Each structure stands twice: as C-alpha cells, then as structure tokens.
C-alpha cells in the first residue's frame, strides 16, 4: 500500500516543528519525535511517562542518516546491515554529537533501526531527520499493535496518530549488541535468534533477555521495569494448572483464560485464544491484543500458560514473564492467591 503523500507531509511538518507523531512500523506503533532535538525528545518521555533512564530507539530511512548519528561503525557489521534492514532488528552504535544525551539516557551508544514499513520510511525521509520512537504505549502498559489502541490511549497527548490498523508482527524489534566478543541478545523480538545466527554467528541469550532474571544493574535499562502489562492482574500458571482452572465453573466471569487453541478448546470459562502452539508467530502477534482486551472485559484476572522457548517463543515468554504479577505451579497456590487478591 502506498501511503498518502499529503498525510506523510503533514506528519513530517509536525516532526520538523518538534511535535509528536504516532506512526506504524512493522513491529508496533511508535511515538515519534525529531531525534536531533532534545526538546522534542523530552516530550516523548513526558507523554509516555517513561523513566528518564530508559533510552529511545532511533529510526532511520537510509545509511547516510545512520552515518550522521553514529561514529566508527565496524565495516564488517555495516556490510551485513542489508541482510536485516529494513526490518525488526535494532543495533547499538557509538553515537555522534548530533544525538542529544536525553535520547540515549546519557549512554555513549545509540540504538538504531530501519523500519520495514512504507509510511514509517517516508515519514522519516520527508522529515529529513532521524525519528526517535519508543513503543507508543504509556509506560508499563502493553505495546500498541493497532491504531485503535493508540487512539484510546494517546488521542489527547499527541499531535497526530496515523490510523493504519494492525501492525505486521505485533511484537517489538529484536535488540542485538554486536560490540563484544560474542553477539548478545538484549531483547528478544520480531526477528528470531534462529534467523539472526546465520548472519551474525552464535548469539548469547542472557537471562535478562529471557526475562528470568531481574538485574539490579540494568544491562539494557528498559529491562528492569515492569513492562508490557495489562492493568489487571495477570497470573502465569503451569499448563496442567491452566487446564484445571479452565474447568472450574466457580471462576466464570472472574478469570479470563488466555492461552493456545489447544488449551482453550476445552475451557468452560471465557477464553482469549492466542492461536496454535505450533504457530508461535501468531501467538506473538496476539499477545498484546489479549492484554488490552483483558483490561476492557469484566473479568478481574487473566491467567496464561507458558509457551516453548524457541523461535518467537523466546520473545513471547520474555513478555509474559514481564507482564505477569505472579508465577504459580499448582492449583492450591492459585486458589490461595485468588483469595488473597480478593474481589
Ligand atoms: P521501546 O522502544 O519502548 O520498545 O524500548 C526500547 C528498548 O531499547 C528499551 O528496552 C531500551 O532500554 C533499549 N535501548 C534503547 N536505547 C538503548 C541503548 N542506547 N543502549 C541499550 N539499550 C537501549
Ligand atoms: Mg516499550
């Protein structure tokens, strides 16, 4: 689909006047501002209520633009960029003085990617500046994967929202640090480790990237916060516990079961079906929709089960761990937790 050129120019004009534009990428919606303007980027933090130590990803539309905001790119890495860009892969580079410190939360390194979405690319191109854009949700909430949620959450806070419907992946970009001896995954995302290893070699997947370890010292600062969450309580339970809960009629109207088709199909409680266990890309694309639907419905608690941790499953489990308030392994503990939370 070709973006309307007037709509692109309208957005570019806002970016050039230090305003805020919510725009689609292939991953999630971004809350964008001129990445060269500290003033504009400060508005991103205020609007999102984002902690000042959680840096922003900068989006570029060309390698020339990448060179304006970075110094000393390793030629070997540069030669591989065409294999992942445009696409859902964010890489860290030494920043140039063109990037204000607020963008990187004072880090000497800037996170950059080239999005694979025609509207996003043309918006950057027409603006003539790189666009800093974190996910367009308010801090701690689920990322915004459809413009209808952006309108719900941000219509009074920004200058423009592109109403472009659902995004392609519905899951954030993969963040990779290529500066050390071994490529290190900082955030699992829409490009899987399995897809990246043939390009960059064996990738180290830390516990932080899995979401199984809460680092007291932030490696990638965003990782230490509660993240990606519904407002309501989400509980992660083992698969067998999920099956037991889903046939307990006492919980009808109280608990929403969020799970794979295989686990939802026998449930007598209401379910949000994420798709088949065998199709993790679909599960990943529906996860944030499920969290937002939980918040809209009457049930006060969501229950979800784990997914296998390969392919998209790595990102799925990272998000579920970050989003869930409790991890429970047997029915008795679940029932105790439920009465503890109260009604
Ligand atoms: P979001 O754009 O909301 O999906 O979040 C961006 C993620 O990128 C956060 O987890 C940040 O901590 C991470 N990030 C952005 N810039 C940097 C950087 N310079 N160094 C390390 N991580 C970064
Ligand atoms: Mg985010």
CB within 8 Å of 222: residues ≥ 6 apart = 54, 55, 187
CA-nearest residue for atom 5, ligand 1, is 134
CA–centroid distance, 244 to ligand 1, in Å, is 38
Q: Which domains does the chain have, with CATH numbers?
A: 5-210 (3.90.870.10), 233-342 (3.40.50.11030)
CA 174 from chain centre, in angstroms, equals 9
What is the reported pTM?
0.94
Give the pLDDT band of residue 219 (cuts 50, 70, 90): very low
Give the pLDDT band of residue 90 (cuts 50, 70, 90): very high
Which atom in ligand 1 lies closest to the alpha carbon of residue 111?
Answer: 16
Instruction: Return the higher-pLDDT residue of 111 and 228.
Output: 111
| CA 139/CA 45 separation, integer angstroms | 9
| CA 31/CA 131 separation, integer angstroms | 9
Q: Could you tell me which residues are beta bridge partners of residue 255?
A: 301
Give the pLDDT band of residue 157 (cuts 50, 70, 90): very high
Which atom in ligand 1 lies closest to the alpha carbon of residue 95?
Answer: 19
Positive/negative CA dihedral, 43, 44, 45, 50: positive
Please tell me the predicted confidence (pLDDT) of residue 218: 46
CA-nearest residue for atom 1, ligand 1, is 134
Grouping H, G, I as helix, E, B as strand and the rest as coil, residue 308 is: coil
| CA 100/CA 159 separation, integer angstroms | 22
CA-nearest residue for atom 7, ligand 1, is 222
Q: Please, which contacts does 89-92 make with residues 24 or more away whose CB atoms are closer than 8 Å?
A: 89/113, 89/173, 89/174, 89/176, 89/189, 89/191, 89/196, 90/57, 90/173, 90/174, 90/175, 90/176, 90/187, 90/189, 91/175, 91/176, 91/177, 91/178, 92/175, 92/176, 92/177, 92/178, 92/179, 92/186
| pLDDT, average across residues 188-206 | 97
- What's the DSSP call for residue 49? T
Ligand 1 pocket, Cβ-based, cut-off 6 angstroms: 54-55, 57, 92, 104, 107, 109-111, 134-135, 172, 175, 186-187, 220-223
CA-nearest residue for atom 11, ligand 1, is 222
- Closest ligand to residue 223's CA: 1
- What are φ and ψ of residue 187, in 5° steps? -150, 125
Percent of the chain whose pLDDT exceeds 70: 95
- From 187, 220, 223, mutation site for ligand 1 pocket: most ligand atoms within 8 A of C-beta: 220
Structure tokens at 320: 């579920």
Q: Are 276 and 267 in contact (CB under 8 A)?
A: no
Instruction: Return the higher-pLDDT residue of 208 and 217.
Output: 208
| pLDDT, average across residues 152-173 | 97
Please tell me the predicted confidence (pLDDT) of residue 222: 47
Q: Assess whether pLDDT exceeds 70 at residue 206.
A: yes
| CA 237/CA 93 separation, integer angstroms | 39
| CA 220/CA 33 separation, integer angstroms | 21
Percent of the chain whose pLDDT exceeds 90: 90
How many residues make up the chain in this entry?
A: 343
- Closest ligand to residue 179's CA: 1
Q: Assess whether pLDDT exceeds 80 at residue 225.
A: no
Cα–Cα distances in angstroms (integers) from residue 8 to residues 148, 161, 297, 310, 315, in the given order = 19, 12, 35, 38, 32
CA–centroid distance, 70 to ligand 2, in Å, is 23
In terms of Cβ atoms closer than 10 Å to its own Cβ (0-12, 13-18, 19+), residue 342 is exposed
| CA 23/CA 133 separation, integer angstroms | 9
| CA 313/CA 235 separation, integer angstroms | 18
| Angle at the Cα of 31 from the Cα atoms of 34 and 290, rounded to 5 degrees | 165
Query: Which residues are near ligand 2, the ion (C-beta closer than 5 Å)?
Result: 135
| CA 325/CA 99 separation, integer angstroms | 36
| CA 164/CA 145 separation, integer angstroms | 10
Please tell me the predicted confidence (pLDDT) of residue 137: 96
Q: Assess whether pLDDT exceeds 80 at residue 229.
A: yes
Give the pLDDT band of residue 112 (cuts 50, 70, 90): very high
CA–centroid distance, 299 to ligand 1, in Å, is 33
CA–centroid distance, 179 to ligand 1, in Å, is 16
Grouping H, G, I as helix, E, B as strand and the rest as coil, residue 262 is: helix
CA–centroid distance, 170 to ligand 2, in Å, is 12
CA–centroid distance, 134 to ligand 2, in Å, is 6
Q: Assess whether pLDDT exceeds 80 at residue 227.
A: no
Q: Mean pLDDT of all residues in the chain?
A: 94
| pLDDT, average across residues 113-133 | 98
Which atom in ligand 1 lies closest to the alpha carbon of residue 186?
Answer: 22
Please tell me the predicted confidence (pLDDT) of residue 341: 85
| Angle at the Cα of 331 from the Cα atoms of 326 and 332, rounded to 5 degrees | 90
Please tell me the predicted confidence (pLDDT) of residue 226: 64
CA–centroid distance, 110 to ligand 1, in Å, is 9
Q: Assess whether pLDDT exceeds 60 at residue 328.
A: yes
Q: Are 59 and 111 in contact (CB under 8 A)?
A: no
Q: Assess whether pLDDT exceeds 60 at residue 124.
A: yes
| CA 295/CA 274 separation, integer angstroms | 16
Q: Assess whether pLDDT exceeds 70 at residue 239.
A: yes
pLDDT in tens, 277-310: 999 999 999 999 999 999 999 999 999 999 999 9
Strand 57-59: give its sheet, edge to edge: 160-161, 21-23, 30-34, 131-132, 57-59, 109-113, 89-94, 174-177, 184-187, 204-205
């Amino acid at each position: 689909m070709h973006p309307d050129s007037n709509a692109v120019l309208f957005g570019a004009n806002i970016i050039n006047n230090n305003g805020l534009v919510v725009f689609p990428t292939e991953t999630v919606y971004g809350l964008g501002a001129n990445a060269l303007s500290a003033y504009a980027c400060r508005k991103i933090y205020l609007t999102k209520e984002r902690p000042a130590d959680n840096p922003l990803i900068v989006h570029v539309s060309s390698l020339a633009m990448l060179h304006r905001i970075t110094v000393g790119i390793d030629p070997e890495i540069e030669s591989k960029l065409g294999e992942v860009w445009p696409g859902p892969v964010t890489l860290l580079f030494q920043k140039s003085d063109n990037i204000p410190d607020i963008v990187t939360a004072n880090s000497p390194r800037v996170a950059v990617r080239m999005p694979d979405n025609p509207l996003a690319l043309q918006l950057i191109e027409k603006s003539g500046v790189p666009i800093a854009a974190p996910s367009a949700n308010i801090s701690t909430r689920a990322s915004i994967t459809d413009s209808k949620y952006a309108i719900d959450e941000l219509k009074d806070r920004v200058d423009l929202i592109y109403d472009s419907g659902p995004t392609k992946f519905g899951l954030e970009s993969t963040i990779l640090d290529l500066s050390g001896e071994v490529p290190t995954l900082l955030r699992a995302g829409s490009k899987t480790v399995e897809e990246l290893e043939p390009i960059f070699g064996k990738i180290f997947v830390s516990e932080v990237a899995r979401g199984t370890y809460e680092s007291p010292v932030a490696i990638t600062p965003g990782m230490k916060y509660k993240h990606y969450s519904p407002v309501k309580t989400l509980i992660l339970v083992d698969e067998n516990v999920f099956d037991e809960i889903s046939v307990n009629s006492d919980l009808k109207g109280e608990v929403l079961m969020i799970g794979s088709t295989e686990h939802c199909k026998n449930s007598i409680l209401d379910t949000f079906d994420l798709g088949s266990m065998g199709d993790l890309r679909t599960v990943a694309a529906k996860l944030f929709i499920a969290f937002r639907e939980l918040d809209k419905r009457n049930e006060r608690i969501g229950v979800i089960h784990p997914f296998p941790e390969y392919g998209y499953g790595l990102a799925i489990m990272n998000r579920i761990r970050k989003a869930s308030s409790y991890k429970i392994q047997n029915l008795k503990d679940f029932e105790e937790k439920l009465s503890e939370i109260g009604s």
